[in-house]
Every structure is written in structure tokens, then in C-alpha cells.
Amino acid sequence: MKRLNYFISSFIILCCLVSCDQTTKKRTLRLAHGLDVNHSVHKAMVKMGEDLEAISGGNMTLKIYPSQQLGTERECLELLQIGSLDMTKVSAGVMENFAPKMKIFGLPFLFRDRAHSFKVLDGPIGQKLLDDGEKYWLKGLAYYDAGSRSFYSKEKPIHSPEDLNGLKIRVMESVSAMNMVNSLGGSATPISWGELYTSLQQGVVDGAENNPPSFYLSRHYEVCKYYTLDEHTVLPDVLISGTHLWNKLSEQEKGWLQEAVDGSVDYQRKLWAEAEAEALAAVKKAGVEVIIPDKTLFSKKVESLYDDYRNDQEIYTLIQQIRATQ
């Protein structure tokens, strides 16, 4: 009943917004996401909105709802699917529940480095995965940089996979993330991002895993004083439009929107690099011990996850293509 009431109230709000916009000639796109307004992704979206209005001569504008105002990442995707929201940003880890091939990004140590990941995401493999969501009413537009995810913990430092034994580690609602943590010896515990700070405080979980800016901006460093830069997964953020919106846009409008999106991607990646450095410096200053472990200890423990895909020819072929990308 609570979930039904959420959808009803969200639908009414959004319908009111649409009806208000019908009094003008502008097309206002509604974009919701779960991040703080200081996050590089939100700042890039603000730029995207400014560019979209300029490119379209004022015919298209963007209204942004940050900080889970309209729901969690999963709930925003569901709103896209029924046409009650136009655009959202979610982690590829959450997206895999809606477009299954996205689960490939949850494989640990898939990319050699940041340059390799950009080569894949900006190339035909990345585009193929964006397009795959259309059959699920989700039109992938671009990837934002979300860096590499690493472990942080409350009571003890993590120097090797053995240190994860017995620890309850928060993960997204992602089978790939759960398999990864469990294979390393931890106990994967799915919890929504908005509930994580309290869960860490109350001992519901012993730690979590995320990139440096998210660790810092969420203030999780106030509870967790150990951050281990094992950089196990590179999970991009995915900017998505609902096909309900995309299919009613004219070719000119699609062009305007994609141009603004592409510009925001370049801008966000620059902001992200700066945010990573600032976040690590800030958490160190706050007393967090930043650990640089031997990554091979972790990568060897998860090799079996790749073997699990040998019988899934399509995913296994994608893995080989990603590894062969130069």
C-alpha cells in the first residue's frame, strides 16, 4: 500500500507539472536523480539544462529533481517506464535489473584503467549496451563517470579479502554486486543509498563500497574511518530517457537533447577528476585511514565470477571484446 501511495502521489505531482507546462509552447523535460546538488553529475545536469535551452532557442528546458525527491533510482526507472517521468540517472548496477546486459559492468577488475573504460563506454560496445534498454522502455543517452568503487569500513581496516570475512557490506540492489562481495568473503547486504548512513551508525552493516566523492559527500566518513582503494569495479552512471518521451520527440528535438547531453558528459568528467582528488584529501583530513592494498589479492579471488559466464555466450563475448579493446 505504501508503494502504491508513492506512485499515486508522484503521478499526481508530475501530471500537475505537465498540465502547467501545456500553457506555454515550451517542452519541459523532467529529470530526477538521487544525488546531492554538490555532486559533479548534478552540476553537469545543470549545464545540460542551460545548453539545451540555448541550443533549442528556448523551445526545450530541463527541470531537475535531485536528492531522491521523486524516489530511489529503481523507483525513478519505474516512473520512466510508465511515462510519468522523462529522464533519470542511475548506476549501471541498478540498471542491470531492468536491462540485463548492463550486469557486465558489475564484474570486478573488468577494465585495465580509466582510459580503457572510456574507450569502451564511448565506443560501439557502450552504445550497444545503451541501445539494449529500449526494449524495456528505457533509452540510454550517455555514461557519466562514476570512478572506481572501493570498500570502506567502521571497526577494522581491510587490507586483503580475508579482512572482509564476516563483515556485512552494503551493496546496491545488484546481483553482480552481491556476487562480488560474497566471493571476496563478505556478506552482501542490499540497502538503499538514502538509508545507508543510519544503517552504518546503527550497525546494521559494517561497511559499504563506493567511489571517493560519494563516500565524502554522503558524510559516511564520519562513521567509517577506513577506506581501502582496491578499486574493484568501474560502474558508470547511466543517463536515461524513457521511450515514452524519446518516441514523441521530433528529430530536431532529439538532436538538441543529444547535443546537450554530450556536452554535459565532457564537463562532468572534468569535474569528476577534480572531485575525486578533493574527496580523498578531505576524508584524510577528517581522520580516515586511506589504504592502498595489493589489488591482485582481490582480483584473484573473483576470477570464478568470469567462469560463471562461459555458458552465457552473449555476455562472455562482450567480456572478450572489452578486454580486447585497445
**Alpha-carbon gap, residue 161 to 90, rounded angstroms:** 28
Inter-residue contact 163 to 288 (CB < 8 Å):
no
Residues 6+ apart with CB under 8 A from 23: none
Please state, in angstroms and rounded to a whole number, the distance separating the CA atoms of residues 322 and 163. Answer: 30
Q: Please, are residues 226 and 288 in contact by the beta-carbon 8 Å criterion?
A: yes
99 close to 134: Cβ distance less than 8 angstroms: no
For residue 289, the one-letter residue type is E
Query: Do 2-147+235-276 and 149-234+286-324 have matching folds?
Result: yes
Give the CA diameter of the chain.
61
Secondary element (H or E) of residue 151: strand 149-153
Q: Among 7-21, 36-50, 149-163, 228-242, which is the least confidently predicted range?
A: 7-21
pLDDT for the residue numbered 22: 42
In this predicted structure, what is the pLDDT of residue 194? 86
**Residue 302 has what pLDDT?**
95
Average pLDDT rounded to a whole number, residues 290-318: 94
pLDDT value at 217 more than 60: yes
For CA atoms 229, 318, 325, 129, the dihedral sign is negative
- The residues that bridge with 30 in the sheet, in sequence order, are 63
CATH 3.90.226.10 is held by the domain 149-234+286-324: no
Helical segments of 98-190, H only: 114-121, 124-131, 175-183
Give buried/exposed letters for 106-139 (b at 16+ CB in 10 A, else e).
Answer: bbbbbbeebebbbbbbeeebbeebbeebeebbbb
pLDDT > 70 fraction of the chain, expressed in percent and rounded? 92
Q: Which amino acid is at 233?
A: T
pLDDT digits (tens, 9 = 90+) for 252-292: 999 999 999 999 999 999 999 999 999 999 999 999 999 99
What type of residue sits at position 253?
E
pLDDT value of residue 193: 87
Phi, psi (deg, nearest 5) at residue 319: -60, -45
Q: Does residue 88 contact residue 31 with C-beta atoms inside 8 Å?
A: yes
Domain ranges (residues) in the chain: 2-147+235-276, 149-234+286-324
Buried/exposed code over 168-190 (b: 16+ C-beta within 10 A; e: otherwise): bbbbbbbbbbbbbbebbbbbbbe
Q: pLDDT band for 3, please (50, 70, 90 cuts).
A: low
pLDDT at 20: 42
CA-to-CA dists, residue 297 to 90, 139, 160, 246, 248, angstroms:
30, 38, 6, 45, 50
Give me the helix-helix angle, 40-55 and 251-285, nearest 10°. 150
Q: Is the pLDDT of residue 141 over 70?
A: yes
> Does the pLDDT at position 110 exceed 70?
yes
What does the pLDDT read at residue 10?
53
Whole-angstrom distance, CA of residue 172 vs CA of residue 161: 20
φ and ψ of 65, to 5 deg:
-120, 95
Is it true that domain 2-147+235-276 has CATH number 3.40.718.10?
A: no
